[in-house]
Amino acid sequence: MKQQLKKFIQHNRADFDHAVPPEGLWLSIAAALDAQQESQPPARKFWKRRLIRIAATIVLAGMAGLTIYHYGRQRAYDDYSRINPALAAEQQAYARLVTQKRDSIADFAASNPVLYGEFSEVLRQMETNYNALKQELSQSPNKELTLEAMIRNLQVQIEVLGQQMEIMNYVKKEKHNATKNEQI
């Protein structure tokens, strides 16, 4: 195509040299270029927009990164094995024992709701203390010490639950003996 255009210009060179462009042609071309340039945003506006987009992206990415970092940091404190694996295993074992003993005492609730209510109040207070220690763990400068305090709280809960179970067994035994005596 380039070759054809070249041949056409060479054959018609004389016609091109004699032809005179109309007056004002260059003025109309310049006006059209100016109008086209005004309709397009200048290069500065283009770069400003692009820079603002890049800055907004960086700010959003930074905020997302900080949020993820903060959330991950809080979750890391909840993962006790990162503090001390031995203490974490001990805490988990005591927490399971507390849950098992609470379930046993909850079974007793149907037969003696008044006594169970007294037991529940004591356990609720200990659970509140335990949750306070859990919250303190994330801000504690000595996390191991706080985790040990949590374990000690669980141990005390187990002791109290054990005493409560002994009382329940005693009450059951007394009821059973009273029932036997009434039957005789």
d(CA 150, CA 87): 10
Whether 147 contacts 137, CB under 8 Å = yes
Structure tokens given for 93: 């074992």
Whether 149 contacts 133, CB under 8 Å = yes
* Segments forming the whole domain that contains residue 52: 42-78
- 170 and 128 assigned to the same domain: yes
Which residues in the chain come in under a pLDDT of 70?
A: 16-19, 38-45, 70-79, 109-110, 180-184
Cα–Cα nearest to 98, from 136, 176, 151, 172: 151
Q: Is 175 within the bounds of a domain?
A: yes
d(CA 92, CA 12): 97
Q: Is 170 within the bounds of a domain?
A: yes
- 64 and 106 assigned to the same domain: no
Q: What are phi and psi of 120, to 5 degrees?
A: -60, -40
- 122 and 149 assigned to the same domain: yes
Count how many residues are written for the chain.
184
Q: Is 111 within the bounds of a domain?
A: yes
Q: Is 12 within the bounds of a domain?
A: no
Q: How many CA atoms lie within 13 A of 29 on its CB side?
A: 6
pLDDT value at position 75? 54
- 159 and 98 assigned to the same domain: yes
- 176 and 91 assigned to the same domain: yes
pLDDT value at position 77? 42
- 117 and 163 assigned to the same domain: yes
- 171 and 123 assigned to the same domain: yes
- 55 and 117 assigned to the same domain: no
